[in-house]
């Protein structure tokens, strides 16, 4: 049987970018349909299923490309990498979105008044702090989610290669 090696880095980058682009498309759809500020559990389930589904598929696809073998460490690396790259892409999108495309939505999220008497530096400081806090929280939450999903799917899919002498 021919032994092939599959690059984990290329695989993680490919599926991380796929999840990131799907997440950006989903956020654009939410913005166009005026659901950016809507708190609905169905929208959260859709976003969660995107992350979980593509991460599990990425791990499964790697297992297929590696002739059906997957170690626990490889599964964790792949899943965590996919989630980390997609979260970084999504954070960059959030910064672009809240700073350039729709800065008024960030004011609504923070709860800042629109009157002229508000000091501009205070507004910038609150916006920056809020955006940093949300980005950091999103990164931490997604990494924890990625760890749990990767661990469960890697444990289920793991199959060690047995070497014969």
Instruction: Examine residue 68 and state whether it is found in any structural domain, yes or no.
Output: yes
Q: Residue 39, by phi and psi: left (phi above 0), alpha (psi -120 to 50) or beta?
A: beta
Residue 91 inside a domain? The answer is: yes
On whether residue 23 sits in a domain, the answer given is yes
Percent of the chain, pLDDT > 90? Answer: 44
What pTM was estimated for this model as a whole? 0.81
> Is pLDDT above 50 for 78?
yes
Does residue 71 surpass a pLDDT of 80? yes
Task: Give the count of domains, the chain.
Answer: 1
Residue 1 lies in a domain: no
What angle (nearest 5°) sits at the alpha carbon of residue 61, between those of residues 143 and 91?
Answer: 30
Stretch 95-123: mean pLDDT = 65
Tens digit of each residue's pLDDT (9 = 90 or more) over 21-48: 999 999 899 888 887 777 788 988 998 9
In a domain, 114, yes or no: no
Residue ranges making up the domain that contains 49? 8-102+138-157
The answer to whether residue 128 is domain-embedded is: no
How many Å apart are CA 162 and CA 165, to the nearest integer?
10
Please state the separation of Cα 50 from the chain's center in Å.
9
Residue 60, in any domain of the structure: yes
| Whether the predicted pLDDT of 125 surpasses 70 | no
């Amino acid at each position: 049987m021919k032994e092939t090696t599959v690059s984990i880095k290329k695989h993680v980058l490919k599926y991380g970018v796929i999840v990131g682009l799907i997440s950006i498309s989903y956020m654009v759809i939410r913005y166009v349909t005026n659901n950016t500020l809507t708190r609905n559990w169905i929208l959260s389930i859709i976003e969660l299923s995107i992350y979980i589904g593509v991460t599990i598929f990425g791990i499964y696809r790697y297992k297929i490309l590696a002739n059906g073998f997957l170690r626990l460490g490889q599964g964790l690396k792949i899943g965590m990498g996919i989630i980390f790259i997609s979260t970084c892409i999504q954070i960059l999108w959030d910064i672009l979105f809240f700073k350039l495309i729709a800065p008024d939505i960030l004011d609504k999220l923070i709860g800042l008044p629109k009157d002229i008497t508000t000091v501009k530096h205070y507004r910038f400081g609150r916006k920056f702090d809020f955006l940093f806090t949300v980005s950091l929280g999103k990164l931490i939450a997604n990494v924890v989610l990625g760890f749990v999903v990767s661990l469960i799917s890697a444990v289920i899919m793991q199959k060690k290669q047995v070497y014969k002498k």
